[in-house]
Structure 1
């Protein structure tokens, strides 16, 4: 069996008995040993691969609390406060003001195909209002992006969304809407914030579209790519109420059992 030795700039093992090393030996896709290059060359038939010489190596991380739906969020526009790397490696600058959120959404709409249906909704995610002092993002702000295209911005907490006037008009969310989680202004009109699932569900087809996308194979591949980008090799999926359903297990296996999937699911 072939053994390959990979020297690295530095290796941190997290093993108190040998916290650092100069190289790792790999056999059949599994780590065999760590040590100095000279020590590892004592393994019969070992060869050296210098492709990792400039890198720092650490053991794969275990993410004990995450959600596969995160992969589906990347099918839409990120507008969170902090810089964040997407599954494809693109670094998205954070939106640190409401004005930057509006600009991000304007860019996203401008990037839609010219053949796109004018009623095609614009979906975004990652917003966290705790970082904005003063006013909250409401329909009035989103109307500066479009007064005709429905816009749905899912908050980072997963408990709120902000929508524009066009979406509320399409789905009949108005002064007569008597649902908890639909705050209104002094005139009695909804401000465009939908709090908790019952209120968010009023967004109708746009809400259903957002949550249908998280059940696609592309969503699961994005989940794995995010793991790869952060050095995570073992993932969990907490909060999936269908995790014991045979069809759901089969859907996950189609992706997670693929030879190219970059992580394990616990």
Structure 2
């Protein structure tokens, strides 16, 4: 099947001013990009001519970092993102339970509350959640995915009590003056609780996967990530792969913790850094700290008005160096979650130390990635350039939590959250992500945030870190393809590449910068096939 697109703005992403007149797609690949007359020489009697009528055609977007398996689960959970108070959370959970006739043999999960935007300014601990039910186990996750709360029934089901110690890299909230858990779980403690509860959860994850893939397509995304995949998550995604459930390309990065993620590459060699039914294992991922909006990102200097509190690491330096050595020995790309600059220091020092021990890995083109980079300093960006690291920046932080960061970090650190311009100035191959399900996978919102740097409260935060529209578009197309070692197949409109395409209602290069977030995805195509149309 052959399609010839013309009559609109075609952004090839091969240069800011390279706007081919026509694009020819043959089956799943791009056959030609250039003058229409040249394209017509390659057409046949069955070629479909598609007039863009002034709309914009460009490469489909690639997700720099996210959690598609978690998003599939959260698509089935109670949505708490619109809650502005504890009572809103209580009401939403009660309605969710009633609508689904949930019994005490089930586990209820809510996702998306943010204490920063609740009237009470705190977390809904067991005292609050017990008002929903004292019999049905309930767990609610913070929007950041780094903390949450459980009711008494959930704590009992998980076996968490006064004798349960805080895990390394995590905190169990306690009722003041006692060792009794108050329901609040942070970082590693939250992950442990989720593991303990997950065996009791009943949900159709395949249904959730269908829902979330359509959500990604709605925003023009055709390549997504599952960062820090558990063994269970990889097995679920391999099942989805075998059943032909993926319509997007999914890149999984198994988590480095106690289990050896390398075993999954041995178990599924057909997915080892190559797609099998749209699924592949890309490398390893680890997490070194929490989130700045939750004040669990590990900093070198204390949070504002918090005494000497800098948060804490998830792992010892020795453990992190061990992770890096394994990644280099196995010749695997490593993705490392670093929100705080102390976590960034730990990653950079460990990677450099591991490279000295395994110097031959330096020539393997592994492209290590620092995920989030929220408080990355200039000296750290310099070191990243030396180590050929990639910054994947959650630039939406500027809008969603910029006001909170300024309050928690002070003006100097707050204004350089998501340091995109500093990264580009050093030649780093910057890409963007939304950390879905933390925020919606809205790529044009990320472009808008990077270009304008406006907070939810309307303040311009760190205008010196603004970047141009074309550079922002690179961060959601070709630069992300590079991060996945897929720059020869995706990210630009060139002959021989996959026809992963998106049609927008307006040209972002000619749109008022303040209106970039309002650009609408009209159609998303994967390998020449339309999978979403507005």
* Fold match (TM-score > 0.5): yes
**Distance across 1 between alignment mates of 2:146 and 2:65:** 18
1:58 aligns with 2:58: yes
Q: Aligned in 2, Cα 1:208/1:196: closer, same or farther, shift over 3 Å?
A: farther
**Correspondence for 1:125 among 81, 106, 111:** 111
- Residue 251 of structure 1 aligns with which residue? 239
**Correspondence for 1:95 among 73, 83, 88:** 83
- Residue 133 of structure 2 aligns with which residue? 146
What's the CA shift for 1:123? 1.0
Question: Contact 2:126–2:150 at 8 Å: present in 1 too?
Answer: yes
**Distance across 1 between alignment mates of 2:130 and 2:90:** 9
Q: Aligned in 2, Cα 1:242/1:119: closer, same or farther, shift over 3 Å?
A: closer
* Structure with higher helix content: 2
1:229 aligns with 2:218: yes
What's the CA shift for 1:20? 3.2
CA deviations over 1:160-206 (Å, ceiling 9, x no partner): 221123333555545x3342233222353432212344466457863
**Correspondence for 2:172 among 171, 178, 182:** 182
- Residue 380 of structure 2 aligns with which residue? none
**Distance across 2 between alignment mates of 1:231 and 1:220:** 17
Question: Contact 1:11–1:21 at 8 Å: present in 2 too?
Answer: yes
Map of 1:29-178 to 2, 5 A cutoff?
Answer: 29-35=28-34, 40-45=39-44, 46-50=47-51, 53=53, 55-69=55-69, 70-80=71-81, 94-113=82-101, 116-132=102-118, 134-170=121-157, 173-174=160-161, 176-178=162-164
Q: How many residues align?
A: 242
CA deviations over 1:86-140 (Å, ceiling 9, x no partner): xxxxxxxx33444433332232122113xx4344221112333344463322122
Question: Contact 1:102–1:141 at 8 Å: present in 2 too?
Answer: yes
- Residue 85 of structure 1 aligns with which residue? none
Q: Using the TM superposition, name which of 13-22 and 137-146 deviates more.
A: 13-22
Uncovered stretches (5+) of structure 1, i.e. residues with no partner = 81-93
SS in 1 for 2:10: strand
**Distance across 1 between alignment mates of 2:121 and 2:27:** 57
RMSD across aligned C-alpha pairs, in angstroms? 3.7
Question: Contact 1:72–1:218 at 8 Å: present in 2 too?
Answer: no
SS in 2 for 1:191: strand
**Correspondence for 1:239 among 222, 228, 232:** 228
Q: Aligned in 2, Cα 1:141/1:43: closer, same or farther, shift over 3 Å?
A: same
- Residue 249 of structure 2 aligns with which residue? 263
